[in-house]
């Protein structure tokens, strides 16, 4: 698996900043209400955003780019087949 940075510097800095902000908020709420699982989930999501900003790799962005490339390949294949609509395919029984 080849992992290379797929987000920019500004995007990474925004992810780190907002991730640390949400992480601080959720941990402060978790201290007051430790029985609430939602604050723990928010803290894990915020930590993931901080990690994405540090390594500059977002798996969701990579998935969207891969799907976009597959859609473009599919459209190009359909465009090349559209020109062959009026042509008859010879039938060769063996």
Is residue 63 domain-resident?
A: yes
Is residue 73 domain-resident?
A: yes
| Domains: count for the chain | 1
Is residue 29 domain-resident?
A: yes
Tell me, what's the pLDDT at 85? Answer: 61
Tell me, what's the pLDDT at 73? Answer: 85
Is residue 92 domain-resident?
A: no
**Distance of CA 19 to CAs 29, 37, 48, 66, 72, Å?**
15, 18, 8, 25, 33
pLDDT tens track, the chain, 94 positions: 677 889 999 999 999 999 999 999 999 999 999 999 999 999 999 999 999 999 999 999 999 999 998 888 888 877 776 666 655 656 677 6
Is residue 26 domain-resident?
A: yes
């Amino acid at each position: 698996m080849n992992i290379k940075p797929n987000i920019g510097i500004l995007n990474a800095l925004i992810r780190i900043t907002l991730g640390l902000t949400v992480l601080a908020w959720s941990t402060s709420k978790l201290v007051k209400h430790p029985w609430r699982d939602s604050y723990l989930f928010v803290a894990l999501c915020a930590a993931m955003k901080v990690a994405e900003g540090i390594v500059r790799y977002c798996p969701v962005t990579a998935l969207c780019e891969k799907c976009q490339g597959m859609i473009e390949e599919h459209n190009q294949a359909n465009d090349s087949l559209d020109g062959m609509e009026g042509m008859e395919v010879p039938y060769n029984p063996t």
